[in-house]
Amino acid sequence: MSHLSLLRFHIQSSPATFSPRLGTVSLTRQSENTSLEVHTPGLIASTSRGVVPHLSGDHTRASEAIRWVHVPFESFLELSPPLPTLHPGPYPTHACLGFPPTKHILTMSLRDPADDRDMPPNGNEFVSALCLRGVRKVTPDEWRDYVLAAQPDVLVALSDIPFTSGSYSQKRITKSIERSASWLANILRPLPGRHVSAGATPHFPNVLVHMAGGTTPVARQAFSRSLLEPLFDKEAEAIKPLNNLDQGVAGYTFDLAPLHKSLSPTTAHTATKNGPVAAIDLFSAPPAPSVIEQVVSLIRTSLEPLPATKPRFVHSASSPHEILALIRDVGIDLFDAHWAQRAADIGVALDFVFPAPTTGGVSDAAPREIGHNFYDKQYSHDFSSFADTLRSCSAEQDDKRPSCVCMACAPSRPSEPLKHSRLDEAPPLHPPVPYTRAYMHHLLHTHEMAAHTLLTLHNLAVLDTFFAGVRRVLSEQPEIFSQEITRFEQIYDGKLGVLAEARKTWTEVSLARGKGRLAREKEKLKQDTLGTAVELN
């Protein structure tokens, strides 16, 4: 791993422990002579089976929103040894999955952080992971070997998050934080034969720790404190030269899916005793404001004793409202885009900006939806581009809306089409025209996969633009940030009614026209939380 360098995080201001913050994560690749920078608050794209769902490599690369990808490892457990560990050459996982090291930062965790389904219990020496061939037990030593071979830029230490049904006893929670700390210590052991030069670490350079403790504040506190405690004897020897675990940690990460599940008792999940598990609930609603408040408070409890200088990651946030609350009240730096990508799976084009638009007497009107369900009949004759709040490439010059640079709103023509014989002439280039809602409506109702491709590209771009808006306010007018969030919450429906509506129509169309697609879809959902099944006919 000698070419893997340290992730650097620079916070612009020196904020209090819990306040919105502007920062930059940078990763310099000496061997590639490139430096990757991601401005925070910002997004990380989610993947399924190692790919950003619906995007071929050329699309993934061309999307400006995709700079950082999160790769759950568990699907690769189908093959032994797992595929990314076998790939020849440098940056094996990047190379294997088609993420150029010059463009993408890549994080790897064992499990899919959005997967909150019931699973067989973890043990003292293993985590239960899910792949197409069933549940696999992965030990901390195996995880260490896997990431040593797969060489992601950033890795998440194993942690013991219980996904068994029912509530968790104090004993179970204690076990959870003890295991998580011990598995972290395992991954922080010095690497065999690693040459320690200036700026390099003897252990894995960029290890994130998932903050354990579930919904029990004292447990979260205990876990955080355990990271700071000096270690002695054998334990200290094992992680030498580190004095405590936190010194080896590059950042803190929080999976919200299990928290949402525990805090929303109404959400029924089918329990299975021995897994493989039930399909993800397609109709799950976003967390209520009260749940978001509790999530904020739990995360603060975890972060309170820890240094504020390290980046903070949140996975499986489920709405822009929750993201804004976590930026404002905690100071979270990076969020995965899972919910926005899931919206593309079910036919929704996102359409919101931060700060919220000021035009119109919005206060009295019903809250706006954060996007459009293109399954809806109202779009069948609508030839406008995807978003009202963003302008497409065909907008007038003096249009003041922020522009959407996605390949649906601003398609780019190939600069040099292939030629297959010398008779072939370069075709005339026409000015690009944005894709229309009517076309999306048509593609969704005819089950054309290209709909999800264009929606994925669009939704990632909208979320990226949203974060750019957040950063702009934090940089230029930090004093109005809170006010703008309140205004955003007033204008945009936090219940995400459009997603619920889209899930319903998506299912109806699948039933009516799917030719077994729904069955395949359920099959896919047993494995992955993202992406739709391939339309085979």
Partner 1 sequence: MQFEVLATCHTTRARASRMTLSHGVTSLPTFMPVATQAAIKGVTPQQVEGLGITLILNNTYHLNLRPGIGVLREAGGAHRLQGWNHNLLTDSGGFQLVSLNKFTTITEQGAFFASPFTGEPTMLTPEESISIQHAIGADIIMQLDDVVSSLTVGPRVAEAMQRSIRWLDRCIEFHEKSGKRDTQNLFAIVQGGLDPVLRDECLNEMIKRHDKVAGYAIGGLSGGEEKDIFWRIIRQCAEKLPADKPRYSMGIGFAEDLLVCVALGVDMADCVFPTRTARFGVALTFNGPLNLKLGKHAKDFNPIDSTCPCPTCKDGVSRATLHHTATHETAAAHAITLHNLAFQARVMGQARDSIMDGTFPAYLRRFFADYFGDAGYPEWCINALRSVGVDLLDGNPDAKVVKGDGAKWEYSDTA
Which residues 23-52 are close enough to bind partner 1 by CB under 8 A? 48-52
> Cα–Cα distances in Å, from 439 out to 256, 445, 531?
35, 10, 21
Q: Is 536 in the site for partner 1 (CB under 8 A)?
A: yes
Q: Is 371 in the site for partner 1 (CB under 8 A)?
A: no
Q: How far is the CB of 168 from partner 1 (least distance, A)?
A: 33
> What is the rounded CA–CA span in Å between residue 485 and residue 332?
15
Tell me the pairing of strands 334-336 and 312-315.
Answer: parallel
Stretch that binds partner 1, among 162-170, 316-324, 416-424, 475-483 (CB under 8 A): 416-424
Stretch that binds partner 1, among 227-235, 293-301, 415-423, 488-496 (CB under 8 A): 415-423
Beta-carbon count within 10 A of 319 CB: 21
Give 225 or 526: the residue with its C-beta nearer to partner 1: 526
**Residues in contact with partner 1, total (CB under 8 A)?**
71
Q: Which of 6, 11, 95, 236 binds partner 1 (CB under 8 A)?
A: 95
Q: How far is the CB of 443 from partner 1 (least distance, A)?
A: 6
- Residue 99, burial from CB neighbour count under 10 angstroms (0-12, 13-18, 19+): buried
Give 286 or 434: the residue with its C-beta nearer to partner 1: 434
> Which residues in the 119-148 window bind partner 1 by CB under 8 A?
132
| Residue 103, token pair as written in the block | 């463009």
Q: Is 529 in the site for partner 1 (CB under 8 A)?
A: no
Q: Is 240 in the site for partner 1 (CB under 8 A)?
A: no
Stretch that binds partner 1, among 162-170, 317-325, 375-383, 463-471 (CB under 8 A): 375-383
Listed in order, strand segments (DSSP E) in 157-292 are 207-210, 249-255
Residues 509-528 vs partner 1: string with x where CB under 8 A? ---------------x--xx
> Which residues in the 449-508 window bind partner 1 by CB under 8 A?
449-450, 452-454
Q: Is 418 in the site for partner 1 (CB under 8 A)?
A: yes
Q: Which residue is it, tokens 């025209």?
A: 433
Q: Which of 202, 212, 135 is nearest to 178 (CA)?
A: 212
| Residue 346, token pair as written in the block | 């079910």
The number of angstroms, rounded, from the C-alpha of 296 to the middle of its chain's C-alpha atoms is: 18
Stretch that binds partner 1, among 89-97, 187-195, 329-337, 352-360 (CB under 8 A): 89-97
Q: How far is the CB of 337 from partner 1 (least distance, A)?
A: 16
Give 108 or 227: the residue with its C-beta nearer to partner 1: 108
Q: How far is the CB of 494 from partner 1 (least distance, A)?
A: 30
> What is the rounded CA–CA span in Å between residue 180 and residue 178?
5
Q: Is 79 in the site for partner 1 (CB under 8 A)?
A: yes
Q: Which of 138, 118, 141 is nearest to 129 (CA)?
A: 138
Q: Is 347 in the site for partner 1 (CB under 8 A)?
A: no
> Which residues in the 143-182 window bind partner 1 by CB under 8 A?
none
From first CA to last CA, the distance across the chain in angstroms is 44
DSSP 153-165: SEEEPP-----SS
Give 21 or 517: the residue with its C-beta nearer to partner 1: 517
Give 283 or 383: the residue with its C-beta nearer to partner 1: 383
> What is the rounded CA–CA span in Å between residue 511 and residue 520?
12
Give 201 or 385: the residue with its C-beta nearer to partner 1: 385
In sequence order, the 6+-apart residues with CB closer than 8 A to the CB of 303 are 17, 18, 211, 224, 252, 312, 330
Give 202 or 411: the residue with its C-beta nearer to partner 1: 411
In sequence order, the 6+-apart residues with CB closer than 8 A to the CB of 415 are none
> What's 404's DSSP letter?
P
Q: How far is the CB of 346 from partner 1 (least distance, A)?
A: 14
Q: Which of 97, 155, 156, 346 binds partner 1 (CB under 8 A)?
A: 97
> Cα–Cα distances in Å, from 57 out to 53, 127, 453?
11, 31, 12
Q: Is 337 in the site for partner 1 (CB under 8 A)?
A: no
Q: Is 537 in the site for partner 1 (CB under 8 A)?
A: yes
> Which residues in the 383-412 window bind partner 1 by CB under 8 A?
383, 407, 411-412
Q: Which of 196, 197, 301, 306 is nearest to 250 (CA)?
A: 306
Stretch that binds partner 1, among 218-226, 286-294, 422-430, 502-510 (CB under 8 A): 422-430
Stretch that binds partner 1, among 112-120, 369-377, 388-396, 432-440 (CB under 8 A): 432-440
Tell me the pairing of strands 34-40 and 105-109.
Answer: unpaired
Dihedrals phi, psi of 134, to nearest 5 degrees: 115, -165
DSSP 13-68: S---SSS---EEEEEEETTTTEEEEEEESEEEEE-BTTB-TT--HHHHHH-TT-SE
Q: Is 380 in the site for partner 1 (CB under 8 A)?
A: yes
Q: Which residue is it, tokens 């389904």?
A: 117
Give 57 or 241: the residue with its C-beta nearer to partner 1: 57
Give 157 or 405: the residue with its C-beta nearer to partner 1: 405
